[in-house]
Amino acid sequence: MKGIISAAQQIWPSSPNFFELVNEQCDMAAKIMDGLVAYVKSTDKDKGKHISELEKEGEELKQRNLELLNTAFSTPMDREDIYRAIVDVDHVMDYAKTTVREIYLFGVEPDKYILEMTEHLSEGTQALQNGFRLLKEAPVEAEAEAQKARKAERNVEKIYRSALVDLFDMKNYTQVIQAADKDPDTRVDYTYHAVEHIMETFKRREVYRHLSNAADRLARAGSTLHDIIVKLI
């Protein structure tokens, strides 16, 4: 009897538990996003370094999951959906790491927009984590979490647009020029101050853009979760 079972396992090998494997990635993404919020509040280098270390672990999880997916005889859900979930969750982690890197390299002081966007990203990632955790046993409840993840993306995009409107408001430029023009000692340097302000504007925009991209990937992962749920129930 044992020989028959062994032969059957060789012909039809057991499938990896992709519910748990993808959820491990979501757990890591949630940790990274929590770390990003903490970093934005403090800009502590050690907190930024910790995010990079976690992202490396997340990359290893992605590679492991992709290798298992490529060699799996069968999967408990659509193979393409699993692939999309693995890649999109990984991209959320990537953008968290690069956001930290740009804040540090550009010397950008996080403002209220950056903090609010990271907080919504953290909430959305936690919803995604909950959704994949509930997926196998409670897909209907998982759908509510998928909707929360996609709502978080919409909230980030609203803040992103408000941030750009404020960033490119001409009042900010005229105030810099007027302040320099009133001071005879700095009048000759007002061009330098104006250029410096413009450079700061574009650096800050890059950070905003990275957070917006992270939100886009979060929404994609939420949509993938939704697609999986529709096929399971």
Does residue 191 sit within a domain? Answer: yes
Cβ atoms of 79 and 18 within 8 Å: the answer is no
Does residue 4 sit within a domain? Answer: no
pLDDT at 230: 93
The per-residue DSSP string of 41-66 comes to HH--HHHHHHHHHHHHHHHHHHHHHH
Does residue 61 sit within a domain? Answer: yes
Token pair in block for residue 62? 């992605």
Total domains, the chain: 1
pLDDT digits (tens, 9 = 90+) for 34-57: 999 999 999 999 999 999 999 999
pLDDT digits (tens, 9 = 90+) for 171-219: 766 665 566 556 656 555 666 666 777 888 899 999 999 999 999 999 9
Whole-number average pLDDT of the chain: 88
Does residue 11 sit within a domain? Answer: no
Structural domain including 109 reads: 16-232
Q: The dihedral of CA 161, 166, 168, 169: what is its sign?
A: positive
CA separation for the pair 131, 75 (Å, rounded)? 19
Q: What pTM, to 2 d.p., does this model score?
A: 0.86
CB contact burial 122-133 (16+ within 10 A = b; e otherwise): bbbbbbbbbbbb
**Residue 13 scores a pLDDT above 80:** no
Q: Residue 178: which CATH number? A: 1.20.58.220
CA separation for the pair 228, 139 (Å, rounded)? 9
**Residue 106 scores a pLDDT above 60:** yes
**Residue 1 scores a pLDDT above 60:** no
DSSP 3-state of 13 = coil
